[in-house]
Amino acid sequence: MLRPARPAALGLLAATVLTSVLSTGLAALQPAVVRAQPAGAGPTAAKPALSTEQARAAAVRILEAIKSGDANARFAQFSDQLKAVSSPSMVAATMRSQPKVISYQLLSVRSGLSNSTVEAEIRTARGNRVVFIVINGKGQIERYYVDRADDPTSKVALQFVQAISTGNFITAHSFLSPSFQKEISPASLQEKWLGLQRETGTFVKVGRAVEAESTPDMRLVLVKVDFNRLSDNLFVILDSSNEIIGVDFPENPAGPTPVP
């Protein structure tokens, strides 16, 4: 059985792997042996995790900020790493684009050595979502991810690329699997996206998302993106739960197709 690919440097799929995908399908994918350093890793020891009661209280504060639409409070609840790629105005714009939260319910609270994970169900006018919020020892949001298992795979990949293309790197990061989130930070996503545009020109629009290959464990989706100098596909690999486990930003984007 294929295991989720663990992409190479910065958690991104190498060009040789992508060539294999195109020529032989997803069966060619193998787990990468090079792993990125976990985001935020460094010599400073992490603050101990909150107690279960403290984590529950922090989760309520976070969810209340979302429910009330208070962008300043929500931004203040981000970890320093998340604040570096966001702002109160960006948070406000994102919140305006999302359905209003009607109510929420805490489902579980689990504390580890340096952080806590809270599972909650959020009820909106467009339906319910289960979200997992990872809270650090300061009571701040370290990262989060949403249960999208029942969504169409191509839609999930498309929404991920749309989030990146609009500068919502924290939202984009929420589409990654928990283990992939530890390998690549929102800041790294930002760096790769800006680096791509140095080769392709500025972003213009996101096109179609096409599911190219699939196995019981993996799905490969190609998302077309138009830039002002050329167009290219971003390769997005998802697992059976529609969590993203691999992304490739082309290192050598295809040039314009010559007119015969």
Q: How far apart are CA 128 and CA 113, in angstroms?
A: 30
State mean pLDDT over 10-14.
36
pTM: predicted TM-score of the whole model, two decimal places: 0.79
State mean pLDDT over 137-152.
95
Query: Angle at Cα 245 formed by Cα 1 and Cα 52, nearest 5°?
Result: 105
What integer pLDDT is reported at residue 254 of this predicted model? 56
pLDDT per residue over 102-121, tens digit each?
999 999 999 888 999 999 99
Q: How far apart are CA 141 and CA 144, in angstroms?
A: 7
Residues 6+ apart with CB under 8 A from 218: 2, 4, 5, 26, 29, 237, 238, 239, 240, 245
Query: Lowest-confidence range among 76-80, 161-165, 247-251?
Result: 247-251
What integer pLDDT is reported at residue 3 of this predicted model? 27
CA atoms within 13 A on the CB side of 62: 29
Q: Is the pLDDT of residue 32 over 90?
A: no
Residues 6+ apart with CB under 8 A from 45: none
